[in-house]
Amino acid sequence: MATNKLTGKKLLITGAAGFTGRHACEYFAKQGCDVVAVARHVSALEDMPGIKPWGCQLDHQTQVEEMIRHTRPDYVLHLAGKNSASESWHKPASYMESNVMASVYLLEAMRKHRPDAGIVIAGSRLSIDPAKGAAAAPHPYSLSKTFGSWVATAWHAMYGLPVILAEPSNLIGPGESAGFCTLLAGYVVGCEQGKSLPMFRISSRHESRDFLDVRDAVAAYAVLLAEGTPGRTYPISSGSEHTLGEIAAKLLAEAKVDVPMDWGPESAPLSADALNKGRSGDQVGSLDTLGWQPRIPFEQSLSDIMEYARRKTGMDDTGRP
Amino acid sequence: MATNKLTGKKLLITGAAGFTGRHACEYFAKQGCDVVAVARHVSALEDMPGIKPWGCQLDHQTQVEEMIRHTRPDYVLHLAGKNSASESWHKPASYMESNVMASVYLLEAMRKHRPDAGIVIAGSRLSIDPAKGAAAAPHPYSLSKTFGSWVATAWHAMYGLPVILAEPSNLIGPGESAGFCTLLAGYVVGCEQGKSLPMFRISSRHESRDFLDVRDAVAAYAVLLAEGTPGRTYPISSGSEHTLGEIAAKLLAEAKVDVPMDWGPESAPLSADALNKGRSGDQVGSLDTLGWQPRIPFEQSLSDIMEYARRKTGMDDTGRP
């Protein structure tokens, strides 16, 4: 297996306390990696077994350099960043610091101390096609992820750093996520518990997105760290889209009670992923040819999300506390 | 005259102690503007008459916000930034902080405190065409100016701030510049004084560039502040190119002594400005239609550069101390 190459190696994972980061730490620790898990506050890493916690504010250059100088990782998986489009309207500078400057500081520290170590940076399929110009940026989050993806590509092109850009689609699965599936599952479980909640509203139920299980994405990151080609951009997707309305129907079908729902306006079908069908100038790589395929069926992801939501609120899977 | 609109208004100029900034402060003070001149250290502004000095590190968000909250300018001319391609290789993070984050902090402060005030941001014709992808970035300076230009455009598109992006060609003229003409004039004057200097070498004498007098550029900024259309990108150029070899010949013709010169290799003609012939997605505006034209002949610029170099070293224009 290609990822055996990583066994025994020191892998530094940023954003380790986040939704994807927690899955990544668990996966790579099980693979026998020496995982350095990085979060802003080490307290967020306390419940995670088999990792070495490291506290670092990635938007502080001196802290980042100190971290790399001290840990000297063989590989880096850079998952940290801010990822709420709505929040980004209110804090665009903070999004630029976290999604652009943090990458710059990390790459600069690697260039200085570990220039040969492989780096995978998680971008976003919401970055925009630069050929459309900055005026096409739908929100500051998208602009910041676009800059971040440029930094990843440019540090390979300009300095020869072995950087790979991964662009996952919408990641879902068990764990603390601010994504649609997790939010709705929490709402459904709340209704099962008889809580009085404001009605969940779907803004655009015909909106279609590519959803991928976070555990499949982590397996893809492992393949890219072991076998990816530096300088390339790798889209990571399930290859099939689902509408928000379809997901809502599936989650509601698992509910033990009637769940009230605001289905929102009847609107024309649209694909949110139309934003990014590959950017001009990118050297795009294929995960297929590296042997990666998504393995977790969509229904399994949804079921695991419901189970997580119930477990979190102390209910078993019969819907009773 | 269109720029009468600016008389009596408070204009904040960043990078005020720099090559263009000094000319801009002088020009706008003479126009009757209430000029707030911003530099990292106020000591750099001590010899400048008719301005209000303000010290600010523009890559520190709190300092920038404090400055705008306190000064509340009617207009902003943002000239500050780092501009050495060669230096940028060694300090890319610092170039990103100065050329990208400083603009973000400034625009955010304006959005909060003076959202209707007109802003002109000086970009660079060395920014790259995003359609070519980040891998086309020739150096970190170019990447940082590309991001900076995107920030200017995006803050207009996303937040409706009245931001105009100005993209001047190579600015020349009297004053402290790190540009080719000023460096060569200093060398010529040094030779006139009998100094022992390493021979000046022209790396590519057939390289052709559009040179514009800095005083013409400042007049263009005035027109843009008064009459430019927010959200547009305005190229500012003389419209004619000169080769480095031609400039060297003209400056050497003004020398009072024989000046030794390494003319470099015979190489194919090339245009450095080929990099940026307008980027995809930009809304490009025309200064012609606003009544601006370059006024200072190229020979006058060169002559003023020589005069400045002689004055600086205490010689009169006969070439004698």
Residue A319 belongs to some domain of the structure? no
Residue listed under structure tokens 């402290």: B176
CATH number, domain containing residue A151: 3.40.50.720
Residues of B with Cβ-Cβ distance to A104 under 8 angstroms: 92-93, 96
Chain-chain contact of B133 with A281 (C-beta, under 8 angstroms): yes
Rounded CA-CA distance A226/A5 in Å is: 6
Higher-pLDDT residue of A263 and B305 is B305
Contacts of B165 (CB under 8 A, 6+ apart): B120, B121, B123, B149, B152, B153, B232, B233, B234
Residue A317 belongs to some domain of the structure? no
Residue A273 pLDDT class (50, 70, 90 cuts): very low
**Residue-wise pLDDT tens digits, B106-156:** 999 999 999 999 999 999 877 777 677 788 889 999 999 999 999 999 999
Residue A318 belongs to some domain of the structure? no
Residue B316 belongs to some domain of the structure? no
Range of the domain at A134: 2-312
What is the distance in angstroms between the Cα of B234 and the nearest Cα belonging to chain A?
15
Kindly state the average pLDDT of the residues A77-87. Answer: 95
Mutate to test the interface with B, among A88, A142, A158, A164 (most CBs of B within 10 A): A158
Q: A121 CB near a chain B CB, below 8 Å?
A: no
Residue B117 belongs to some domain of the structure? yes
Q: One-letter amino acid identity for A104?
A: V
* Burial environment of residue A178 by CB neighbours within 10 A (0 to 12, 13 to 18, 19 or more): exposed
Main-chain phi, psi angles of B118, to 5 degrees: -70, 140
Rounded CA-CA distance B108/B25 in Å is: 24
Chain-chain contact of A143 with B154 (C-beta, under 8 angstroms): yes
Residue B10 belongs to some domain of the structure? yes
ipTM above 0.85, yes or no: yes
Task: Kindly report the average pLDDT of chain A as a whole number.
Answer: 90
Chain-chain contact of A93 with B101 (C-beta, under 8 angstroms): yes
Pairing of strands A207-213, A241-243: antiparallel
Looking at residue B44, its pLDDT comes to 96
Q: One-letter amino acid identity for A223?
A: V
CB atoms within 10 A of CB A228: 23
Of B139, B149, B157, nearest to A137 by CB-CB distance is B157
Is B162 in a helix, a strand, or coil?
Answer: coil
Number of domains observed in the structure of chain A? 1
Of A105, A139, A153, nearest to B133 by CB-CB distance is A153
* Sign of the dihedral through C-alpha B110, B137, A108, A220: positive
Residue A200 belongs to some domain of the structure? yes
**Residue-wise pLDDT tens digits, B179-222:** 899 999 999 999 999 998 999 999 888 888 999 999 999 999 99
Of A89, A93, A133, nearest to B104 by CB-CB distance is A93
Q: Is A166 left (phi over 0), alpha (psi -120 to 50) or beta?
A: beta
Residue A321 belongs to some domain of the structure? no
**Residue-wise pLDDT tens digits, A89-119:** 999 999 999 999 999 999 999 999 999 999 9
Residues of A with Cβ-Cβ distance to B283 under 8 angstroms: 135
Chain-chain contact of A281 with B135 (C-beta, under 8 angstroms): yes
